[in-house]
Each structure stands twice: as structure tokens, then as C-alpha cells.
Structure 1
Amino acid sequence: MGAVTDDEVIRKRLLIDGDGAGDDRRINLLVKSFIKWCNSGSQEEGYSQYQRMLSTLSQCEFSMGKTLLVYDMNLREMENYEKIYKDIENSIAAAHEKISECKKQILQAKRIRKNRQEYDALAKVIQHHPDRHETLKHSPQGSSVPPQKKTTTTPSGLNCYGPSAQYTIAFQLGSLIFCKSGNKFMT
């Protein structure tokens, strides 16, 4: 067996001691006091050893009670921190939702602003032109606007002005075809 160094002894005592309250030393003192009490010859010496053992025992009990209270407090604090962590996570999630809603509102506001700008530009262009009443007052024909001729569309897609126009077109086409064939046709 190799020699035990002071560092190893100190390390073992620190590991056994726990939180450094001297419990290891108190237990060793209690064991030594018990051995002295068992080996004591007189009653006075036995009584003093007994009082020392009770004192050391009460110190150990107090230290153990204090350690248990600290342990319970640490457990409660861990639960409290977990609750706070969950509250923070919920707050972050709510903030993300609120941010996405605000982004949607910003996009809608941008669209509305763009539409308003286009409307304002169109309104400025319209303002440069006179309204219908002023245009009719300044027209050379007075207040009457010439009526537009009504056109009809034939199935072939030709615009015609009535049956007499259709007859004229048909007659002209017929005369062209007849002339091309070499016969003279008097119109």
C-alpha cells in the first residue's frame, strides 16, 4: 500500500463533509465521546461526557434540519423557475403571433397607401380636364352632341348600316366578279 498524501486526505474529507458544515468532524467527536463515556470510571466524568454527546448530537440534528430546509427551498425554487420559464415561453409565442399580425397589418397599410397614391394621381389628371357641362358649353354645336350611327354586326363580322347597304355591297361584288370573267356589265 502506498503512502496517502495530505491532498488525498483533504479531498476525501471534503467529499465526506458535504456542504462543509463540519458534519464529519462532529460525527467523529460523537463516536469518540461515546467511547469515552463507555470507558469512563466515575459518574461525574460519565455525566460530562453524556452532556457533550447530547450537545454534539443536537448540533448534528440542527445541521441536518438546516440541510433539509435548504433542500426543500431549492426544490421550490426549481419549480418556481420552471413556472417562470413556461410563462416566458408563452410570452414569446404570443409576441411572435402579435408580430405576424402586425406584419399583415403593415402589408395591408402599404397596399392601401399605394392605392391612395394611385387614386390621388388619377384625381390630379382628372382635375386638369374640364367636366362634361363645361365641355358642352364650349362646343361649337352648342349643347347637342351629334348622335352616333348605330351599327349592326353581321354573322361574317362586317359592320353594316342596314339592308340597303348590304344590297349595295352584294351588287358591287357581283359586278366585280362578272368583269373579271371577261364579260362587260353596265352599272
Structure 2
Amino acid sequence: SQRQHDLSEDDIIRSRLLYEGDQGIDDRRILTLMKTFNKFIYDLSSNSDEHNSTIEKLLSLLYSIEHSQHLLKSTYQMDELEQLCYASKTQRLNEQVKQLRHELDQSELRLIEAKQKRSHLLEYDARAATINKLGTRRELRAQQAATLERKHYFEHLQQTFEATYQQRLKQIAVYMRPIFELDEILRQDANEDSPGDTGPNESPVEQQSSSLISTLPTIKHERQRTNSDSSTASIEADDTNSTTTRSKRQHKNHLGLISLSASLANNQPQALFSNETELFGTQLINPLLLLSSSNIS
């Protein structure tokens, strides 16, 4: 088959040596032994030297063939042992590879777990830093207690303020009650005394203010002097000195009575201050109404 592929003799010998090794000439030895044996059997010569050389040649060929057979057998056994050894080594290597793969998987899992732990530790450190910026529990409790104490203090202050405010309102109403009663009496007297004196162009507010102004001097002159004649001159001097102040006061009272009568005529709440500021956000109303409502309640 090799000659059919146009191979040279050298290539054939080289290939046989490559495949068979040193034992490639066993076939030739066997063929040479068979030829020599047949020649020795069928060609019996009378020459003893040639006969002896042929026998020695046959024995040497048998010995070489037997030796090559032992070598081949030992080589075969050695190959089997090597095969078994390689099989055991291959199995052991496969087991080691499986174990290494298992360890690699476990290492990957441990690596993932370690990364998670590291991320958790970083998160915990960040939260701990944020918590450390805040106060301790004792400080927070002390701050809470101080806040509650201030809250109770302000609640008590508010209650006290409301009670004081209501009390002051009642006191102011009591103080203002005679003024409103006097004003009511003066209006009634003015209406009874001069029902037709007022002109058609005057308003009710102007009528009430004029009536109040007209009645004030009569109230003053009703007071009789009980001083002696010696003190009459000094009293007259004092009266002349205080004429200007009295005129100013009368003008001021005139303006106050005008505003008071206007508020009473319009039934509107009037503040107690000249600049019309409110007392703690609430305007004072007629004390008579306030006292009447408190008495009813």
C-alpha cells in the first residue's frame, strides 16, 4: 500500500522504524531462521564444520528471537503499568480539578459575601458618622425636658395673661361705667330740655356734643366757694393763671366728647387710646353691655 503511493524505500524503512522501533527486524530474523532450518534439514552435507556452523547460527537466531520476545513482553507489561499509572494520575487530576472548581465557586461566593459586608460596613460607618453628629440620648432628653418646661411655662403665662386681661377689662368697664352713665343722663337731659332748639342742619352728634359742653360749665358753677374774704384775691389770681390751661382742657374734653358721642350715636366700639390702638388685639366696647352680659352669665 505504501509503494502504491510512490514512496521510496528510505521512507518505508523510516516509517517502519518509527512504528516498530528496534524490534522491526524480528520478521527478518524469523524468516532467516526458517530458511536456515529448511536448508539444514533438506541439505545434509558430509562436512561437519559447515554442519556445526549452521547449528550455531540456528541457535544464535533462536536466542536473539527469544531475547526480543522477552523484551517485547516486558515492554508490553511496562506499557500496561504506565497506562494504569496514567489512568490513576488522570483520575486523581480530575478529582483535583473538581475540588479546585468547587473551591473556586466557594471563593467566589465568599468574595461576593465579603463585598456585601464591606458595603454594609461602609454604610454603617456613614450612618454612625451621621449619628455622632447628633446629640446623645441624655442630651436629647435634657433638651426635651427643657422644651417641655418652657412649654408649661408659656402655657401658664398665657393662662395668667388671659386671666389678667379679663380682669383688666372688667376693671376698665367698671371705671368707664360712670362716664357712660353720665353721658346717657346728659343726653336724656339735653333731649328733655331743648327738644326744638337745634337747627335743622345740625347732626345728632353735634347736638350731643354741644349739650355736653353746655352742661359742663353749669356743673362747675354749682360748686360754691366757702373760702374767706382774705383768700379771695389769691383764688382769683390762681383762676386767672389757670385760664389758659382750663381752655386747653376744655378744648381737649370737647374733642373727646365729640368722638365719644359719635361712637355712641353710631353704636361702634371705641378704643381707649387717642391713637386708636387696640388693647391686645381687641377693641373695648360699652362697659355697660359688658357688665350686663357678665351679670346675666
Scaled by the length of structure 2, the TM-score of the pair is 0.41
Which residue of structure 2 lines up, in the alignment, with residue 41 of structure 1? 45
Stretches of structure 2 that go unaligned for 5 or more consecutive residues are 153-297
Task: Name the counterpart of 2:159.
Answer: none
Are the counterparts in 2 of residues 30 and 56 from structure 1 also a CA contact under 8 Å? Answer: yes
- 83-92 or 41-50: which moved more? 41-50
Q: Give the one of 89, 95, 117 matched to 1:112.
A: 117
Q: How high is the TM-score relative to the length of structure 1?
A: 0.63
Deviation of residue 36 (structure 1)? 3.1
The residue type paired with residue 57 of structure 1 is: L
**Which stretches in structure 1 are left out of the alignment for 5+ residues?**
148-187
Partner of 2:26: 23
Structure 1 residue 70, shift from structure 2 partner: 0.8
- Structure 2 distance, partners of 1:145, 1:104, is 57
Query: How has the CA–CA distance of structure 1 residues 32 and 136 changed in structure 2, closer, same or farther, with 3 Å as cutoff?
Result: closer
User: CA separation in 1, counterparts of 2:150 and 2:107?
Assistant: 54
Deviation of 1:109 after TM superposition, in Å, equals 1.3
Deviations 1:15-36 (A, max 9, x none): 6x94453212212221232133
Cα–Cα, structure 1 residues 137 and 49, in superposed 2: closer, same or farther, change >3 Å? same
**Cα distance, 1:76 vs. partner?**
1.0
Tell me how far apart the structure 2 counterparts of residues 109 and 79 of structure 1 sit (CA, whole Å).
44
The one-letter code sitting in structure 2 at the alignment partner of 1:34 is F
Superposed displacement of residue 120, structure 1? 0.9
- Amino acid across the alignment from 1:56: L
Task: Tell me, yes or no, if structure 1 residue 87 matches structure 2 residue 120.
Answer: no
Aligned to 2:78: 73
71-80 or 30-39: which moved more? 30-39
Residues in 2 aligned to 1:68 and 1:27: alpha-carbon distance in whole angstroms: 17
Would you say how many aligned residue pairs link Structure 1 and Structure 2? 144
1:129 aligns with 2:129: no
Question: Are the structure 2 counterparts of residues 139 and 23 from structure 1 closer, same or farther at C-alpha, using a change threshold of 3 Å?
Answer: closer
Q: Distance in 2 between matches of 1:145 and 1:136?
A: 14
Higher helix share: 2
Between the aligned partners of 1:77 and 1:56, the Cα distance in structure 2 is: 31
Q: Is the 8 A contact 1:136 1:142 kept in 2?
A: no
Partner of 1:102: 107
CA distance in 2, matches of 1:114, 1:76: 56
Distance 1:116 1:6, change over 3 A: closer
Amino acid in the other structure paired with 2:53: S
Please identify the structure whose Cα radius of gyration is greater. 2
Partner residue of 1:165? none
- 1:65 deviation in Å? 1.0
Cα 1:56–1:142 shift into 2, 3 Å: same
> Which amino acid counterpart does residue 39 of structure 2 have in structure 1?
K
Measure, in 2, the Cα distance between the counterparts of 1:50 and 1:71: 31
Amino acid corresponding to residue 28 of structure 2 in structure 1: R
Percent identity over paired residues: 23
What CA RMSD, in Å, does the superposition of the two structures yield over aligned residues? 3.5
